[in-house]
Structure 1
Amino acid sequence: MSDWQTRCAKRKQAQLESIPKEWIVKDPPQMNVMNIPKDCGLLSDHELEITETVDVEVILQKLAAGEWSSVEVTTAYYKRAIIAQQLTNCLTEIFIDRALNRAKELDEILKTTGKVTGPLHGLPISLKDQFTMKGLETIMGYAAWIGQYADSDCVLVEILYECGAVPFVRTNVPQTLMWGETHNNVFGRTVNPYNRYLTAGGSSGGEGALLAMKGSPLGVGTDIGGYLSVRIPSAFCGLYTLRPSYERLPYCGAVNALEGQESISSVLGPMANSMSGVKLFTKTIIDAKPWLKDPLAIRKEWSDKEYDLVYHGGGKRLCFGIMWDNGWFSTHVWRRRVHNTRLTGVVRPHPPLIRAMEITKRALEAAGHTVLDWEPHRHLEIYRNSETIFVADGGEDYQGMCELSGEPLLTSMLPEEGAHETTLEEPYVKRLVGKPYHRTAYELWNLHKEKRTLRKSHLDYWEATVSRTGTGRPIDAIISPAVAYAAVPHGLNTDSFYTTLCNAMDYATSVFPVTFVDGNLDHKHSPHEFYNHEDEAIYNLYDSGLFDGCPVGLQLIGRTQEEEAVIAMTEIVDRALREHEKGQESS
């Protein structure tokens, strides 16, 4: 083996050796491994009770009351995380003694003082492998970064410690981060626990797989676009998440790809099995005044007024827009733009996504809200602008990191063996943007100028919906797919614009689970007039048998710096869906 391969093999072996032998479980042959933590016998009944509690507030209440100790909660989640690791390859850093020592300290503080250390007292939290922790490696999918130990904590980790949390694992990412798949030469490929033949998404795919298996009560990922996101893994893995606006939460000290690129800022966001976890994390971090530690963090306190939806009619009668796809409307009539003879969409969603939107529409209307069709606005222009910004360095960042070790740059996420058949030669965005090359400073400035113009145009377009809503307000939020399909076979996650739109426009956005793919309901649509070659390839990919049982999630898109309102509106949508589901069951 070459030097870089030897280094990767040794690092992977070290990870394997960090797993206690008594926590080893048998790897079953089936593709769906969601029930293995319950069935394998490693977790006690009490540990199952702890890890099956998806409401983070309940866990914190029991920790604060001393009903559960931090040591037993951290141990339970550690064991379940190690099970998830063996089945999905979701982890990077495993530091059991360090985490348990922290938990013991917190238990002792509570015992001697009768007071919790902070709002996250004793809670284990998982972190994507970008958030530096003093004394630990932050490899971020690069062979060259093996052996690079952080000499300080990033700001987020500082705040988590101050708030009483127990960071206990770090999770896998793709090489370069900028992929919708989680695979690198150091730790390997992360798979989806609902079907290991399928991807968990990227670039926060390690978090997605871990949380789906309830190996963590609360995780933190990052989001910069379609491929580097918290939203696609959450949609693929049946989770809740929040993509906050630029600089609302502290990123300082975390490592990243394309560092210095501030045209479209990367943001961090919580991922959890409940909206309570998403809200709790967001409010806790904002209440900690991150602007005192991160010079870029916006000085904006948590607003109960915004969470109470004062600017959205108090949440009593909301008006949602549904983006059925990038250019197709609920009338089910394909039509061309008046100003352009070409079809201007990107990708039409698969049948389960359409059904999920129909379910959500019915649930919201039953709850007394209004749902209108949202017609996409200048999507191809926004897509081209944002993706051109991402490749403005001509690939120098990625190439430079790989050249440090001699590691090859991954140019495909398809498995070397057993790859699923596809007719897609390259994603549409590559043709849209063209071959990457170094942009001059002046060319980049012009891209920034164009982006500002597009943001203004999209703002005006949104504001103009006031004439349609009947509430005296513009549409309160947009509901759309986060991605055009449920989890796909490895290497085939190419659609990205449903998510990238929000990064380019800087819209606060959540993802919430709606349903699961059902082969009896989600029949393949008749062929449509395809937008482009990728749209056709994705249409041909659909086979309900392949995706059966996979989670289907949607995103809720709000305005810039509107995190509190987006969280509150997502809670309203989630309640409406649960009530609608109960009504369907009772009837």
Structure 2
Amino acid sequence: MDSSWQQIAADKKSHQLDSVPKEWISSAQSLPSEKTLNVIDFPQESNVLSALDREITESSVASLLSNLASSKWSSVQVTTSFYKRAIVAHQLTNCLTEIFVPRSLARARELDEYLEKTGTVVGALHGLPISLKDQISIKNIESTIGYVSWIGQFAKQNSVLVDILESLGAVPFVKTNVPQTLMWAETFNHVFGRTSNPYNRSLTSGGSSGGEGALIALKGSPLGVGSDIGGSIRIPAGYCGLYGFRPSYNRIPYAGCVNTMEGGDSILSVLGPLSNTLDGIKIFFKAVMSKEPWLKDPMVIRKRWSEEEYNLADHGNGKNLCFAIMWDNGVVVPDPPVRRGLEITKAALLAAGHRVIDWKPYKQAEITKNINDIWTAAAVEDFKRAAAPTGEPIITSMALQQDTEPLVFHPSDGGISAFELWQLQKKKRDLRQEHLNRWEETVNQTGTGRPVDAIICPMAPHTAPPHGLNKIPQYTLPWNLLDYPALIIPVSQVDQELDAKQPREDFYTADDRANYEQYDPATYENAPISIQVVGRTGEEEATIAMSEIIDQALKGAQSQP
């Protein structure tokens, strides 16, 4: 290419809003100033949205689908309302990448005409706008995943998941921002820039599905799809106050998506949903399973949605469940707000008649080292090859000031041999076996006659931190290596009085001390507090059902005087 990478990126960014009607774009004067950190309620005040737009975009996924199926609201109306709110969200947090208004509205119009003509819906997601992480391929649209060198590479076909979503009647309408390489727990790249947290724009929205997190938190999308190899769905969900679900390997089809570190199949990235409402998680998962994705993606396990598992047949039919709380991981002690979120959850579950015991962390640091050593084997070469065509630099920090740190992945001199990689993967297998055994052994502690039903733990040792400071993924990474499904549930928000800093003298690790010293409740003002619910491999239906029970218990406790 003749142009510099900076010019290529600037040209791409400058055309981002070309397809958006001007009346949907707020004037600079009408937007909050940069000094306004909390913008979560601004869309409700925006003069871009009508009363009907606000009603539609603040509805649950189940309500939207019901009103679409009954023709109370047309798909064109619903898609337009979410488009308008998505553009507001983007102007507040920089959460979008690809925007394709004419294409999506044409699709919505087809769905409306089909319903009017036949009296039936196309499928379980009829008329519903769905946002997609940038790496999910849509035919004739780019998926740059933050690489300047990938600008101009248009997808030749849909990813399998997009084909399935469209067959269910969904309307893909925007793609969302990610970090360059995808392998960051924050969201910044040279093409589209940085995404911030709508609850406090001095804080990160998380990553790598950070655009999804910010967009959905502002209700600019009812349901989005992210990916997760080390926490990339759960971290944005937790930091942005959403529900987000990381399923087990190979249940949601991944075929046709673009990615980094392809071929490193020891620890798989998985796709999963994010939503403001928990019903969106179940609706998405059940709908995708209904289309037999194993017939379209050879990696997908042949397993249909199981109503029996959802009804918790293996978990006492959902009565008198026993949850285990992992208060910390033996590596980094969580900040006061995170601890408070766990205490709120424990009290709510006990009040609802369930049992709660403690989960003793096991080899959490060893798991984290194993997963990082596996990634280290080839990650740097992968990133450099992707960036080389334009000469764009590999981002080495998510800080506001760039180039302040070395690259995250540090390969040993000359890399490692295939044999050495095999030893790491053998260790991973052994760690999975050990954890299966430990889970089974809890049958002696629960009092239910079966092992612990699910683990509840932090999603991170802190709520959303300032940009560049999200460096401790040890609360999400282990479940990726162990392949446990995990679902994020919002609980509360940081309160400066309730979450005051507590004195400590003893620390597990240097990271533990650094995290403690970093904490100041004023820094984390308004940040959401979330918990993580962890099930056993392949128990997606049960994990969703148990999360619903926990969520109901939390809501019930909050409604008490």
Q: Is the 8 A contact 1:394 1:438 kept in 2?
A: no
Q: 1:436: how far off?
A: 7.5
How far is the alpha carbon of 1:437 from its aligned partner? 5.5
- The answer to whether 1:82 aligns with 2:87 is yes
Q: Distance in 2 between matches of 1:147 and 1:50?
A: 35
2:156 aligns to what?
A: 151
Deviations along 1:476-534, one digit per CA (max 9) or x if unpaired, are 10000011111110010001011001000000110000110000100102124122222
Give the TM-score, by structure 1 length.
0.93
Equivalent residue for 1:490, pick from 467, 471, 480: 467
Q: Cα offset for 1:16?
A: 3.4
Distance in 2 separating the partners of 1:436 and 1:460 = 37
Cα RMSD of the aligned pairs, angstroms, is: 1.6
Contact 1:394 1:439 in 2 (8 A): no
Q: Does 1:369 align with 2:346?
A: no
1-side partners of 2:86 and 2:405: how far apart? 37
Task: Say how many residue pairs are matched.
Answer: 555
Give the equivalent residue in structure 2 for 1:319. Answer: 322
Amino acid at match of 2:54: L
Change (3 A) 1:425 1:410: closer
- 2:8 matched residue in structure 1: 7
Aligned to 2:472, what secondary structure does the other structure show?
Answer: coil
Q: CA deviation at 1:27?
A: 2.6
Contact 1:393 1:437 in 2 (8 A): no
Q: Which residue of 2 aligns with 1:27?
A: 31
Q: Which residue of structure 2 lines up, in the alignment, with residue 339 of structure 1?
A: none
SS of the aligned residue for 1:371 comes to strand
CA distance 1:368–1:69, change in 2 (3 Å): same
Shift of 1:544: 0.7
Q: Which amino acid aligns with 1:180?
A: A
Aligned to 2:367: 382
Identity %: 55
For residue 43 of structure 1, the aligned residue among 40, 49, 56 is: 49
Inter-partner Cα distance in structure 1 for 2:419 and 2:477: 24
Find the counterpart in structure 1 of residue 173 from structure 2.
168
1:439 aligns with 2:416: yes
Correspondence for 2:234 among 219, 224, 231: 231
Partner of 2:249: 246
State the partner residue of 2:521.
Answer: 544
- Consecutive unaligned residues of structure 2, counting only runs of 5 or more, are none
Residues 305-326 of structure 1: CA distance to partner in whole angstroms, max 9, x if unpaired?
1000010001101000000001
How many angstroms apart in 2 are the aligned matches of 1:399 and 1:539? 35
Q: Distance in 2 between matches of 1:27 and 1:256?
A: 35
1:340 is aligned to none
Superposed CA offset, 1:145-178 (max 9, x none): 0000011000000001100000000000000000
Separation in 1, partners of 2:332, 2:193: 29
Counterpart of 1:283 in 2: which secondary structure?
A: helix
Aligned mates of 2:242, 2:541 — CA distance in 1 = 19
2:261·2:379 contact (CA, 8 Å) conserved in 1?
no
2: CA distance between counterparts of 1:521 and 1:425?
A: 35
Contact 1:394 1:437 in 2 (8 A): no
Pair 1:403 & 2:388 matched:
yes
Gaps in structure 1 of 5+ consecutive residues: 328-345
Tell me if 1:360 matches 2:345.
yes
Q: Cα deviations across residues 434-485 of structure 1 (Å, max 9, x unaligned)?
A: 8586221111111111111110001101110100100001111000001111
2:235 is paired with a residue whose SS is helix
Match of 1:341 in 2: none
SS in 2 for 1:512: strand
Secondary structure of 2:495's counterpart equals: coil
**Partner of residue 118, structure 1:** 123
**Which structure 2 residues correspond to residues 452-491 of structure 1 after superposition, within 5 A?**
452-491=429-468
Q: Which runs of at least 4 in structure 1 moved beyond 6 Å after TM superposition?
A: 424-427
AA aligned opposite 1:285 = V
- TM-score computed with the length of structure 2 as normaliser: 0.97
Q: Distance in 1 between matches of 2:490 and 2:149?
A: 37
Whole-angstrom distance in 2 between the partners of 1:164 and 1:517: 39
Letter of the structure 1 residue corresponding to residue 352 of structure 2: A
Distance of 2:227 and 2:178 partners within structure 1: 10
Kindly state the Cα deviation for residue 20 of structure 1 after the two structures are TM-superposed.
2.4
Bigger drift between 201-210 and 132-141 goes to 132-141
Matched with 1:201 is 206
Tell me the equivalent position of 2:184.
Answer: 179
Deviation string, structure 1 residues 233-283 (Cα, Å, up to 9, x no partner) = 000000001100000110000011101110000000000011100000000
2:106 & 2:300 partners in 1: Cα distance?
A: 31
Q: Distance in 1 between matches of 2:141 and 2:405?
A: 40
Compared with structure 1, are the counterparts of its residues 436 and 376 closer, same or farther at alpha carbon in structure 2 (3 Å cutoff)?
A: farther
1:214 to 210, 219, 233: 219
Query: Does 2:284 correspond to 1:276?
Result: no
Mark the CA change 1:465 to 1:277 in structure 2 (over 3 Å): closer, same or farther.
same
